[in-house]
Amino acid sequence: MSVCRDRCRQLLPEYVRGLLGQEEMKQIAHHLEHCLECVQEVRVLRQFENEVLPEPPKWFWTSLAGKVTAEARQRRRARVLIPVWAGGLAAAALALLLFLQPGTAPQLQNRTPDYSLLETGGTFALGLDEELIPSVSGDFVEALEQTFVRDLETVSQDYTASMDLFPDSDGYVSMDEVTMKVFEDLVEEMTLEEVRKKVMS
Amino acid sequence: MTDQTTLERELVERARKGDDPAFEGLVRMYQEPLYRYLCRLSGDGEDAMELTQNSFVKAYLSIRRFRGDSSFKTYLFAIASNTWKNTVRDRGKRRNVDIEQFPIASGNNPHDEVVRHQEQKRFWSLVDKLPARQKEALTLRVREGYPFEEVAKVMGCTTGSAKASYHHAVSKLKEAFEGDEI
């Protein structure tokens, strides 16, 4: 039985598809002669070989690529622009959240984001996309991304953290989602000054 | 490194810089495997078409943050997987899949064909009733041929958890043949 678990059983999908070398194919075939459990498993796996899926219409394949880029560009344009103070608040609140939970993003502890960059005038888009924020300097966007994104992606790789904080996420939690989430959670409870004071202290 | 991997890397690199034709190249490269994957998960061709498009749109919008820690295909499948789960959750319950819409391979002998048809119907009905994670692990391991490490990356869980989901699924599907002689 331990042999099944450790070796043969793990290779059954490849065995069924004939993807193993001659020697391994022989070994598994030999094993199947006296292991009922694996024989049943092979029978299950063989069912998938018979599967025939519904074919989409031809136009779907030929038009999909163009549709995807067109829709993505449209969605990007539709992202909501918010005033710079809200962007500042979101970023500051995000920093606060991460500083107050050092276990979540320990690599942030020894760095101090340059909050003077948040004083830039104009508008700030949560999407952090240069196309959408012509009035905000590229330095601002770059600094903000460099300061936070790597840490946020580390956080997002922790399945539990991402699922707890962002149950609706697509698994790759983005800066947009994090800032928006923090913004939504904290904006009604704290003023920008209160957030700044806490962060800076 | 295979030609496909090299081409994928080139296209991803260009797409990250905003080159739309390069991203469209990635769509064409993976549209069929992604559609098939989503078709197996959702059990519905039309849903799979919609989910395929949505998954690619999400991948386009987030490609600048893709750092190449996994292959682009794994990254894409992880997005697709979560897009499907969100859709299932938003609907509040799983839709009842019409098993008849899946054409079933036929044999030559009419009697055998009827028996086989019944057996396959029972089998696919069990597949449809599997919990989402088990179905996902099974689809990735068996149909996509991913090793468990990649299955885990797509599912956002540990390798051990992916293996457990897969083996639970296989155990349940064995019920389709209970009482049959082997």
Domain limits of chain A? 2-49, 74-200
**Number of neighbouring beta carbons within 10 Å of residue B14:** 16
pLDDT at B106: 53
String of DSSP letters for chain B? --HHHHHHHHHHHHHHTT-HHHHHHHHHHHHHHHHHHHHHHHS-HHHHHHHHHHHHHHHHHHGGG--SSS-HHHHHHHHHHHHHHHHHHHHSSPPPP-GGGS-B---SSHHHHHHHHHHHHHHHHHHHHS-HHHHHHHIIIIIS---HHHHHHHHTS-HHHHHHHHHHHHHHHGGGGTT---
Q: How far apart are CA B78 and CA B152, in angstroms?
A: 10
pLDDT at B11: 94
Alpha carbon distance B112, B117 (integer Å): 8
Q: How far is B1 from chain A (nearest CA, A)?
A: 20
Whether the model pTM is above 0.90: no
The 3-state DSSP class for residue A165 equals helix
pLDDT single digits (tens) A67-111: 999 998 887 765 444 444 455 555 665 655 555 544 443 333 333
Using CB atoms, which residue from B25, B31, B102 is nearest to A64?
Answer: B31
Nearest CA in chain B to A16: B142
- What letter represents residue A47's amino acid? Q
- Report the topology of domain B1-95: Rna Polymerase Sigma Factor; Chain: A (1.10.1740)
pLDDT value at residue B14: 93
* pLDDT in single tens digits along all 182 residues of chain B: 567 788 899 999 999 888 999 999 999 999 999 999 999 898 889 999 999 999 999 999 888 878 787 889 999 999 999 888 888 877 754 544 554 554 455 555 666 777 777 777 888 888 888 888 899 999 999 988 899 999 998 988 888 889 999 999 999 998 877 765 54
Residue contact B45–A54, C-beta within 8 A: yes
pLDDT digits (tens, 9 = 90+) for A115-167: 333 333 322 333 333 333 333 344 444 444 444 444 444 433 333 333 444 44
Of residues B61 and A187, the one with the higher pLDDT is B61
pLDDT value of residue B143? 87
Q: Which helix (H) or strand (E) holds A81?
A: strand A81-83
Rounded Cα gap, residues B17 and B108, in angstroms: 55
Contacts of A78 in chain B (CB under 8 A): none
DSSP state of A51: B
The answer to whether the Cβ–Cβ distance between A41 and B23 falls below 8 Å is: no
For residues A178 and B157, give the distance between their C-alpha atoms in angstroms, rounded to a whole number.
21
- Cβ of A52 within 8 Å of Cβ of B102? The answer is yes
Question: What is the token pair recorded at A159?
Answer: 């399945």
The model's confidence at residue A190, banded by pLDDT at 50, 70 and 90, is very low
Taking CA–CA distances from B179, the nearest residue in chain A reads A40
| pLDDT reported for residue A116 | 39
Cα gap A118→A87, rounded to integer Å: 8
In the prediction, which pLDDT does A105 show? Answer: 36
> With bands split at pLDDT 50, 70 and 90, how would you rate the model's confidence at A59?
very high
- Which residue ranges make up each domain of chain B? 1-95
Q: Which amino acid is at A137?
A: S
Whether the ipTM is more than 0.95: the answer is no
* Optimal mutation site among A12, A20, A50, interface B, most CBs of chain B within 10 A: A50
Q: A38: number of CA atoms within 13 Å, CB side?
A: 24
The confidence score (pLDDT) of residue B110 equals: 66
